[in-house]
Structure 1
Amino acid sequence: MDIFDLKENLPFERDVQGDIERIRRSFETISADYGIDIHIKDFLGCFATRPSFKPMCDFFLWHDSPFCSYVKINPHAAETCVTLSNEYLRRRCIREPDGFFGTCFCGISEYVIPVKYRSTVIGAVLLGEFGIPSDSVDRRFARLEKIYGFSGEMLGEAYEKSTRSVPANMDAILTVVKSVVLAFELVAEKYIDKKLVDRLETEKRVRRGDIVDSAADYIRRHYAENLCVAEIAKACLCSPSALNHSFKATLGKGIPEYINHYRVTHALSLLSKTEDSIEAIAAECGFSSSGYFIRVFRHVTGATPKEYRNRHAVAKQRSSKKQK
């Protein structure tokens, strides 16, 4: 497949699955050939509601680099990263429809290309993940440590593994990506109904924020208890499916994953600030057993609770020596 010939081959003559698969392979080819990460933002949920679009968007949905994964173990940081950044990105995409180069609050830079349905911005394609100057990184890391309690050393290690320099041929890469985005927009216009876009835009503004805010508040107040999706949905006056959909569309994760991440956040604090046993911390954070706690903690952070406690102690000692 030659991604450079996409414009010449439009409009598409095959069914929607064939059109979407062709675009997905184009993005994969660009990512592999140029060594950059590609992510797709679904601002309104248009792609998630269309079965033909969902597999491709799910494939490019996650920022799963070591740095982003570490930052998102904190539910508050994850909420800022996903919810607030999505709203900010969409507003900026509306102001700058030709695309822009931006940096998130954690220090990851990306090129952002809006995806439009006629005149409505429904998503974006992000190209990255690029680093920023070290002095700017230090300032952002200091803020992340202060607000969310992250380890500066662990942030630095993950950031170094996850970022790269902007390629010298970035202009050529952008030209190629924009041709694929154009194809994406034409397919969206062909297969997504305008009434759906209008309805989703209205519903997103009104309902999704209310559901997620209510559920997140309930989880914050009851995280140490035995929680289930049905119970949380009942408290939020919505169905379990609506709750899960709102969470995944807004925060990029389902309810169980959000609960585990929230519990791990509290465990991180206890591991670094107390000498409580692993068993006691597991119980205090709402985990059913220490074994399950260790499995979840390792899945979220990449380390066991004991390893994290030891690394945090070493980092604290180094910091104390520097201050002296």
Structure 2
Amino acid sequence: MSAFWIILHYYGIMSAEYERKEIFLMSNPYQNITNYLHFLSRRYNVKINIKDFFGFIPINKELDEALRPFLAHTNPFCMYIKSETQSYHTCLRMIRKMYSKFENGDYEYFFGVCHAGLMEYVIPIRYEQDLLGSINAGFFQSDPETTQARIRSACLGSRLLQFETAYRLYEQYITAPDIAIEDLLPQLNLLAEYLSHTYGILCKTHPTSTNIFRYHNSNEDMILSHAVKYIQQNSSQRITVNELADFCHCSTSYLSRIFKKRTSVNINTYINKVRIELSKNHLMNSTNSIAEIAITTGFDDPNYYSRVFTKMIGISPTEFRRRFKTFT
């Protein structure tokens, strides 16, 4: 067994305690890579982001599912900056610039700064002659004056973005990693090797483009990541497809098509899945009634909640609580 498989398995076991709140991954063969990414993020305060230039992630549903939390930066500062349409598209253009930089030069990695002042190291993911994507790790910080100037520039001329709000979010949520880059880079290279090796296996059984030039639509990854994050953060509230599409800067038809393509379910079903997973924690760890749990997790009708739960989980909420409750 090669070294990176052994190390990823080790980190998968060591970081399993972090993943109790993650959903849909219990039977996923790529669970360890999800655990490893969360381990790096939480142990060293590193924000990890996977950019897909080639379309190698969606060729396998389980890999897509495992990497979904890492396809875009969804911290409150980034989400606020990208709430402005122009700023959102500036972020997308930067992905294309990353691709061009690696495509036009033989870089082992480079250090980049986004238009809103966030700094990260970018490591390529290559398979033979193909540039698959990149691993972005941040956020490293410069002097406060330079950071403020970039944030102010990003907010300039926008009717939605306010510098004071943006900078407050930056100070609250953006902190430097607790690891030196020379110690982090070997782990990121390990991750790049793993993803390259995984693609090498998958491409033998999954159809891929034979075009000489291929560039994946990164907007699709951004939309999916933002939509999933919005659903997770607002699952206890009423969520409409229209407001979700507005949040993701796209049409409702495009958003619905992406969800069906990448998750194999429609948006409302996905919302219900998130709510059901949250309700399982309540059933196991609280003494609240079934009706109270239904309302807390976003279901207006407790009877409808019970029907959806039974259909998705295979047993009723009452039976689930009886089997798995942690309280006496």
Which interval holds the TM-score relative to the shorter structure?
Answer: 0.5 to 0.7
Which residue in the other structure is 1:6 paired with?
4
Shift of 1:21: 2.8
Letter in 2 for 1:50: N
Q: Which runs of 5+ in 1 are unaligned?
A: 11-16, 209-245, 264-324
Query: Residues 130, 120 of structure 1: CA spacing in aligned structure 2 closer, same or farther, 3 A cutoff?
Result: same
Shift of 1:204: 4.2
Which residue in the other structure is 1:120 paired with?
130
The whole-number CA distance in structure 2 between the counterparts of 1:20 and 1:262 is 30
Which residue in the other structure is 1:30 paired with?
40
Please list, as runs of the form range in 1=range in 2, the aligned pairs for 1:22-61 lying within 5 A after superposition: 22-61=32-71
> Cα deviation per residue 1:52-81 (whole Å; 9 max; x = unaligned)?
310122121131111101011112211111
Matched, 1:181 2:158: no
The whole-number CA distance in structure 1 between the counterparts of 2:247 and 2:50 is 25
- Count, aligned residues: 214
Identify which range, 153-162 or 175-184, moves more after superposition.
175-184
Matched, 1:160 2:171: yes
Which residue in the other structure is 2:180 paired with?
169
Work out whether residues 46 and 196 of structure 1, in 8 Å CA contact, stay in contact via their aligned partners in 2.
Answer: no
The whole-number CA distance in structure 2 between the counterparts of 1:141 and 1:51 is 37
Work out whether residues 102 and 111 of structure 1, in 8 Å CA contact, stay in contact via their aligned partners in 2.
Answer: yes
> Cα deviation per residue 1:2-53 (whole Å; 9 max; x = unaligned)?
xx9426689xxxxxx8763333322222223222121111123221232131
Q: Which structure would you say has the larger RCO, counting Cα contacts within 8 Å and 6 or more residues apart? A: 1
User: How large is the RMSD of aligned CA atoms in angstroms?
Assistant: 3.2
Query: Residues 258, 85 of structure 1: CA spacing in aligned structure 2 closer, same or farther, 3 A cutoff?
Result: farther
Identify which range, 168-177 or 111-120, moves more after superposition.
168-177
Shift of 1:169: 2.6
Work out whether residues 102 and 124 of structure 2, in 8 Å CA contact, stay in contact via their aligned partners in 1.
Answer: yes
Which residue in the other structure is 1:249 paired with?
221
The whole-number CA distance in structure 1 between the counterparts of 2:212 and 2:158 is 32
Shift of 1:247: 4.8
Give the alignment's TM-score, normalised by structure 1. 0.57
Work out whether residues 45 and 249 of structure 1, in 8 Å CA contact, stay in contact via their aligned partners in 2.
Answer: no
- The 3-state SS of whatever aligns with 1:165 is coil
- The 3-state SS of whatever aligns with 1:148 is coil
Q: Which runs of 5+ in 2 are unaligned?
A: 9-26, 228-240, 251-328
Which residue in the other structure is 1:92 paired with?
101
Give the alignment's TM-score, normalised by structure 2. 0.57
- The 3-state SS of whatever aligns with 1:73 is coil
Query: Residues 262, 53 of structure 1: CA spacing in aligned structure 2 closer, same or farther, 3 A cutoff?
Result: closer
Query: Residues 98, 146 of structure 1: CA spacing in aligned structure 2 closer, same or farther, 3 A cutoff?
Result: same
